[in-house]
Amino acid sequence: MITDRPLTDWLPITKKEVESRGWSELDVILISGDAYVDHPAFGTAVIGRILEDEGLRIAIVPQPNWKDDLRDFKKMGEPRLFFGVTSGCMDSMVNHYTASKRRRSTDAYTPGGDASFRPDYATIVYTKILKKLYPEVPVLIGGIEASLRRVTHYDYWEDKLFPSILKSSGADMLVYGMGEMPLREITRLASKGVPFSSMRTIPQTAVLVPKSEALPKNKNWEDLTLSSHETCLKDKRAFAANFKHIEQESNKVRAKRIIQSIGEDQLVVNPPYPPMTENEIDTSFDLPYTRLPHPKYNKRGSIPAYEMIRFSINMHRGCFGGCSFCTISAHQGKFIASRSEDSIVKEVDAVTKMPGFKGYISDLGGPSANMYKMKGKVQSICDRCVAPSCIHPVICSNLDTSHKPLTEIYKKAAAHPDVKKAFVSSGIRYDLLVDSYNKKHDDSLDEYMDQLVSNHVCGRLKVAPEHTSDNTLKVMRKPSFKHFHEFKKRFEKANKKHGLNQPLIPYFISSHPGSEAEDMANLAAETKEMGFKLEQVQDFTPTPMTVATIIYYTGLHPYTLRSVYTAKSKHEKKKQHLFFFWHKRENHHEIREKLTAMGREDLIDKLIADKKRHAKQEFVKQRKKQKQRKHSKRR
Ligand code: SF4
């Protein structure tokens, strides 16, 4: 993308750019598995801009070559304070492999979508290289890969438990969650000359402390000791039980400090910072991003992940849904940190001035589109809460689910003179929008639905019921499918009112813990009856630090320690996935066989009955009967 902005508008990524700023030394060097896109949706840019805001001289080394003579790791020299390492916006293994562990041929975070620009387990590989080249320089790891691998975790790709990534990588400190607050504190201390070995009580960080040393003291924190890494290796039950504590402490206002023994060390995971205030999150989003990829990539093709969010706006962070398969709350927290209306409207204006903007905002969203500004009515109740979800198994009576502030922002964005349409493409929580589930809602839902349906749907609306079986939905921490039926009716009514015909696109997952092949057959029949031919479907992938992953590995639910069935073999998973595609003729024979084997012949007609053939068979049967009748009369 060609712009006439000076190169100094971006953070430097080459030695020449560093020198052109007159810097002979850098304070911090960030190593990232992603290409550098200077946009608030890309973690490396956020951290880079925060450090710059702290007055530090920083440079980014995006996607360094880890296979050659390591010149990319050497070109910027040694930073004065520390190296910061991240795999990028995704866990490198999720980025590289499909649910069936097949290597992907593209990478959305690389120019041209090219694959192979980052190693597997990127955080570990980069950190080990840095520790070899610069053993004296501290390495700080962060981003989703480090964050979700902070304690003993299951790695699906190696099919075994890994210890904290601090241990596997040799890094000095780990920042989990969204890094702004801890990063500011770390850099302030580091700038004052405090060594990393003395920074052991910074919230939202984790460190390894040798067992020969006393644990650092903080009188405000209680400790919670998990089963050791070694115990987890031997005992799946102990590993499963650990997770309940980890999840609860990650989502508490006043969390405990987590301690876990690993060999000769103790892992210390300090409690998180409180959710960011409006002012703090605005400050982060209002930093001077160019909102563009670095010009170095101009000739290498577009970056698919950037193209997706180029004209979009993220309005809040966090998610209180607590879905079992999702990592958002483990990384961003359960409490919603929302930007101010002013900051969002200012960004809408900035987007309209971007090169290539044609009047369409692609998303006014967030991790779940319709949680903006939602929080507990009485904060002191939330302060004591340990629930992993505010909306499952029922919507908490203390949760304020008003959609008013969100509707106001939609209206303001739509009213901008240069905006033709401002779409909502992030998934919405449909359960918040139905009377049967959100029983105590205020009077804001009708207006929200009207505004959404009439102005903000880009052709089709994405929603994620994820399954139709109540048993599976319970394991998923999702509401019963009957509420989706109600939402469909409501959505269609709103469409009719506005003379529109916008379809719903439901998302579903197969082979999630709790889902049996028969549940998938029922799913296929029920969604067919509703008029859906499914397209947005996926097979469950066990990613680190989710309830569903713990069940997948241990066979136990971490909260009850009771067994839960999970389809694990290729054969079982394929069988479940097959039912999504009942409409493909080539699957009919297999589906018929499977339904017969499970004694569900009743679904054969519903799902794959060939009407013509059925009518012909019926005709032949009737003729036969007639002939028999005639014959017996004659006799
Ligand atoms: S009290 Fe209710 S609203 Fe507050 S955190 Fe707990 S579940 Fe959520």
The rounded distance, in Å, linking the Cα atoms of 255 and 47 is: 25
Residues 78-113: pLDDT tens digits?
999 999 999 999 999 999 999 999 999 999 999 999
pLDDT at 544 over 70: yes
Q: Which long-range contacts (CB under 8 A, 24 or more apart) does 278-283 make?
A: 278/337, 278/338, 278/339, 278/340, 279/340, 280/180, 280/181, 280/337, 281/316, 281/317, 281/337, 281/338, 281/339, 281/343, 282/339, 282/340, 282/342, 282/343
What band does 4 get if pLDDT is binned at 50, 70 and 90?
confident
Percent of the chain with pLDDT over 70: 98
How many A from CA of 432 to the centre of ligand 1? 15
Locate 571 and state its tokens.
């054969």
Residue 370 has pLDDT above 70, yes or no: yes
| Beta carbon of 99 within 6 Å of any ligand 1 atom | no
pLDDT at site 456: 97
Instruction: State the distance from the centre of ligand 1 to the C-alpha of 391, rounded, in angstroms.
Output: 9
Residues ≥6 apart with Cβ < 8 Å to 527: 468, 506, 508, 534
- Pick from 396, 400, 432, 440 the residue to mutate for probing ligand 1's pocket: most ligand atoms within 8 Å of its CB: 396
Residue closest by Cα to atom 1 of ligand 1: 382
Helix, strand, coil percent values for the chain (each to nearest 5): 40, 15, 45
Q: Is the CB of residue 248 below 6 angstroms from any atom belonging to ligand 1?
A: no
pLDDT at 432: 97
Half-sphere exposure of 64 (CA within 13 A, CB side): 29
E runs forming strands in 171-329: 173-175, 205-210, 223-225, 257-262, 265-269, 292-293, 312-314, 316-317
- Ligand 1 contacts CB of residue 7 (under 6 A): no
**Can you read off the two tokens belonging to residue 512?**
């999630």
Q: Per residue in 602-615, pLDDT tens? A: 999 899 876 555 56
Residue nearest to atom 4 of ligand 1 (CA): 382
Minimum-distance ligand 1 atom for the alpha carbon of 382: 4
CA of 441 to the centre of ligand 1 (A): 15
The distance from CA 485 to its chain's CA centroid, rounded to whole angstroms, is: 26
**Residue 569: pLDDT over 90:** yes
Which pLDDT score is estimated for 300? 94
Contacting residues for 234 by C-beta, under 8 A, at least 6 apart:
none
pLDDT at residue 620 tops 90:
no
CA distances from 504 to 121, 487, 527 (A): 37, 10, 12
CA distances (Å), 86 to each of 121, 275, 385, in order?
10, 22, 32
In the structure, what pLDDT confidence band is assigned to residue 627 with cuts at 50, 70 and 90?
confident
What are the pLDDT digits (tens) for 395-408? 999 999 999 999 99
Q: Which atom of ligand 1 is nearest the CA belonging to 381? A: 1
pLDDT in tens, 203-214: 999 999 999 999
Strands 28-32 and 82-86 turn out to be parallel
Q: Which atom of ligand 1 is nearest to the CA of 378?
A: 4
Rounded mean pLDDT, 478-507 = 96
Q: Is the CB of 371 under 6 A from ligand 1?
A: no
Per-residue pLDDT reduced to its tens digit, 464-477: 999 999 999 999 99
Query: Residue 330 — very low, low, confident or very high, per pLDDT cuts 50/70/90?
Result: confident
| pLDDT surpasses 90 at 631 | no
pTM of structure: 0.93
Helix, strand, or coil (residue 130) = helix
Look at residue 635 and tell me whether its pLDDT is greater than 90.
no
Q: What is the pLDDT of residues 19-61, one digit of tens each?
A: 999 999 999 999 999 999 999 999 999 999 999 999 999 999 9
Average pLDDT over residues 577-591: 93
Distance 248 CA to ligand 1 centre (A): 12
Whole-number mean pLDDT of the chain? 95
Ligand 1 pocket member 189 (CB < 6 A): no
pLDDT number for residue 122: 98
Q: Give per-residue pLDDT as tens, 178-233.
A: 999 999 999 999 999 999 999 999 999 999 999 999 999 888 999 999 999 999 99
Atom 5 of ligand 1 has which residue's CA nearest to it? 382
- Spacing, Cα 384 to ligand 1 middle (Å): 9
Residue of 368, 378, 379, 382 with the most ligand 1 atoms within 8 Å of its CB, for mutation? 382
**Rounded to the nearest 5°, which phi and psi values hold at 624?**
-60, -45
Q: What is the pLDDT of residues 225-255, one digit of tens each?
A: 999 999 999 999 999 999 999 999 999 999 9
User: How far is the C-alpha of 232 from the C-alpha of 529, rounded, in Å?
Assistant: 45
Q: For residue 377, how far is its CA from the centre of ligand 1 (angstroms)? A: 9
pLDDT at 536: 87
Residue 616 pLDDT exceeds 70:
no
**Nearest protein Cα to ligand 1, atom 8:** 390
CA of 376 to the centre of ligand 1 (A): 6
Which whole-number Å values give the CA distances from 213 to 197, 209, 217, 264, 497, in the listed order? 12, 7, 12, 11, 69
265-269 and 257-262 beta bridge pairing = antiparallel
Read off the DSSP letter of residue 8.
Answer: G
User: Does residue 552 have a pLDDT over 60?
Assistant: yes
Strands, E assignment, 325-410: 337-338, 360-361, 363-365, 375-376, 399-400
